[in-house]
Chains A and B, each alone.
Chain A
Amino acid sequence: MRLSYLIPLALFLLIGIGLAVGLTLNPREIPSALIGKPVPEFSLPPVQGRTLGLATADLKTGEPQVVNVFASWCVPCRVEHPLLMALKRDNLAAIHGLNYKDDPADVAKWLDQLGDPFTRTGADRNGRVGIDWGVYGVPETFIVDGTGQIVCKHVGPLMEYDLQTKIRPILADLKAGRPSRVKC
């Protein structure tokens, strides 16, 4: 038996061990260490053409709120945008926009053209605050309860389905002051 003929077997064993460990993990689970924790300390100026900026204190008003991380360069954000408009019309909670690594003129044009669902906006030009929020990619949507605790984090564009099964029920529960049984 020559040693070189053992190389494929050795490599396979290595891969096999990796796969076995992989079986014990869940790739879909994105660690959201922030859930149940207070929102990070931050303060951001509003995006161009808006007056209300976004800071930690704005998320501790006693009312549940939604924070949506978006950018004008992000295609899925465009997809989810009409749903944010619909959520705004529901009047369940204020929606705030965390504008992530965006050009001031672009985002102003975006909000003017597509409509502005946000009560407050924060311009996170360099993405520093995004890091504190644990942003993986845009869009992401957070639900924050009245005390400033993050209750839920949704990664990726919101779909009608998510609004119906997740966002609206959780907001309704928070408003009614009962613990939500909806799995985030």
Chain B
Amino acid sequence: MIPELGHIALILALCLALVQGVLPLVGAARSLQGWIALAPQAALGQAVLVAFAFGCLTYAYVTSDFSVLNVAENSHTLKPMLYKISGVWGNHEGSLLLWILILVIFGAAVAVFGRNLPATLKARVLSIQGLIGVGFLSFILFTSNPFARLLPAPLEGRGLNPLLQDPGLAFHPPFLYLGYVGFSVAFSFAVAALIEGRVDPAWARWVRPWTLAAWCFLTIGIALGSWWAYYELGWGGWWFWDPVENASFMPWLAGTALLHSAVVVEKRDTLKSWTVLLAILTFSLSLLGTFLVRSGVINSVHAFATDPTRGVFILIFLAVVVGGSLTLYAWRGPALQATGVFAPLSREGALVLNNLLLAVACAAVLLGTLYPLALDAINGAKVSVGPQYFNAVFIPLTAPLVAAIAIGPMLAWKRGDLTAALRRLLPAAIAVLVALGIGLYLQNGRSFMALLGLSLVGWLGIGALCELALRIKLFAAPLGDSLSRARGLPRAAWGMTVAHLGVALLVMGITVSETWQVEVQQVMKPGDVTTVGPVQYRFDGVMPIKGPNYTAQQGRFTVLSDGRPVREMMPAQRRYQQPPMETTEAAIHSSVAADLYAVVGEGDAERGWAVRLYWKPLVSWIWLGALIMALGGFLSLSDRRLRVGAPKRAAITAAAAE
């Protein structure tokens, strides 16, 4: 009964989405107040209905109702409660429902928090959201019904893929979707602006918090996914340039560009059509990611079980949404005239450089992701594009980007003075020299990448701190004065500094762990001791253990430092019963300084076990850096400028019209 109620709620939500997608749009065009006022109510109603449906599916999972096909295929009574719940979105149908839930929650949030939006703009934005909802609700109802019944019900479910039974992955999709779907709001704002033919600083200010929130969530989502790959896949890597990883990374790159270009629109009233295009592209890339993951066109470890009808549906949807919005852009975009003048050496000039580099990096990732598909389509050749390509293309693009992050904030709006900015960055230049010295001392200049990375870290880290010090007049004014200035600094300024420092930490983590990590791969017998970097691993043997829904061979290592035992590490090979599958559980001890990472493979007492042991200095800084970037985003989001009083729109447009 309850699954049927959920199904009915979804059907009602589709009907309501149709109403929300059509009437307010028409109402805004014809100034019909009643139809305009419909939008917020419809958005709230949809949120309630979809949340109810999601609750119904969750209930079916929690109670292990195997008469629901989706539950029978993906759950199991022996599964811990956390994974019963995360199992809801651990499959195609359920994750699609989660996607829709987040979409309607964002819609409801626009309805509730968008009080200071002009009624027609709000109606149009919500209408576009409604139309996106129509697409996804039809997708789920017509091709991927999560409430389909299975009669007679089996006694036991088929279980969730053991790789997915992991706390990191349980929360990875919700964050990722909060990011993907959050960009739909920026998209809706962009399309609404194109329909209205008006983009101004007020618009940029309205669209910015939504973009920022989505960006923060996506950053966390990607970091969680990378962390999961690091400790669950047991290969010791944290980024594989897998097509599905790229699918989440491309919207992130475009979204990062959007965040920065929206600032230019807000402050300088220029770069408008580019910003609108970015908003469209960011969400389009999110949709493209959905298509790649769910249609089966690319081969990836993450791809969902696929079905051609789904692929066709998403492709048509993609064509309507992206093709439609880009057609609208081609038609209305030229009308978005810039009013500000533009000097290349200025804050906005630096942000354009940022946008250029990010956009090219994004295009490079897109090219690498789609290239195998294109080649297959053209002449049937099977190729895969690996890390070599991505590293070769991506690093030369991001290195100048990171270098420019330190300079940009030092330049003034309108007309910046590069010499003065560089003079203020003198401490950062000194930091680069120090970093180079340390790099050369530690590894005798063998790796150019290591030197480049360390220099960038010194430059950006100290540069960002310099910028903060200048703002609060540190050392130039009495300390108390500086502190009160620091308190008075807008949260957005703090957010920027924190996020940029996060980038520095991230680059630091990548550089140091890639350059100085030690990997030992060998066969060990109980009692053997191996030196890995500054520590020794003593292998104490392997013993069988039993978990709630798996059995495992657990290896035991004692880590020795200067001959003294400091900690035990217990990696395992798990064998799950339902579905039958083996997973590698790496044993990881993380600390700020370095991670210890051990994996035990196959073997027996006679010949020993194949083991892989690592010492990975500063690797945790990669995720720490990403989280700090997200924290910077949230800080900026809490700026009062974004919460209170939007600027008077009419006055600005009047001025612009002159």
Contact = CB atoms under 8 A, between A and B. Distances in A.
Interface of A: 1-2, 5-6, 8-9, 12-13, 15-16, 18-23, 25-28, 30-31, 75, 78-79, 81-83, 113-115, 159-161
A13 B297 contact: no
A138 to B, nearest CB: 15
Main secondary structure of the interface of A (DSSP, over half): helix
Contacts, number: 99
Given A8-B280, A79-B602, A82-B602, 13 more contacts: A9-B327, A12-B284, A13-B323, A16-B315, A16-B318, A18-B373, A19-B318, A20-B315, A25-B297, A25-B377, A27-B382, A83-B602, A160-B582
B635 interface: no
B322 interface: yes
Contacts of A15: 288, 370
A18 B374 contact: yes
B607 A8 contact: no
A5 B607 contact: no
Nearest to A8: B326
B329 A5 contact: yes
Q: Which of B370, B581, B610 has the most CB of A within 10 A?
A: B610
Contacts of B604: 82
Main secondary structure of the interface of B (DSSP, over half): helix
A19 B322 contact: no
B444 interface: no
Contact of A23 (B308, B333, B370, B602): B308
Interface residues of B, number: 46
A42 B319 CA distance: 51
Contacts of A25: 297, 376-377, 380
Contact of A114 (B311, B333, B607): B607
8 contacts: A5-B330, A8-B281, A8-B329, A8-B330, A12-B322, A31-B382, A82-B603, A83-B602
A169 to B, nearest CB: 16
B198 to A, nearest CB: 17
Contacts of A5: 273, 329-331, 333-334
Given A5-B273, A5-B334, A6-B330, A22 B297 contact: yes
Contact of A1 (B295, B297, B330): B330
Contacts of A20: 315
Contacts of A160: 582
Given A8-B326, A9-B326, A27-B299, A21 B377 contact: yes
A25 B299 CA distance: 11
Contact of B523 (A26, A30, A114): A114
B601 A9 contact: no
Given A22-B373, A27-B297, A78-B601, A12 B580 contact: no
A124 B447 CA distance: 33
Contacts of A159: 582
B580 A161 contact: yes
B656 interface: no
Given A5-B329, A22-B377, A160-B582, A16 B602 contact: no
Interface string B141-168: 0000000000000000000000000000
Contacts of B523: 113-114
Contact of B376 (A22, A78, A81): A22
A159 B583 CA distance: 11
A82 B582 CA distance: 15
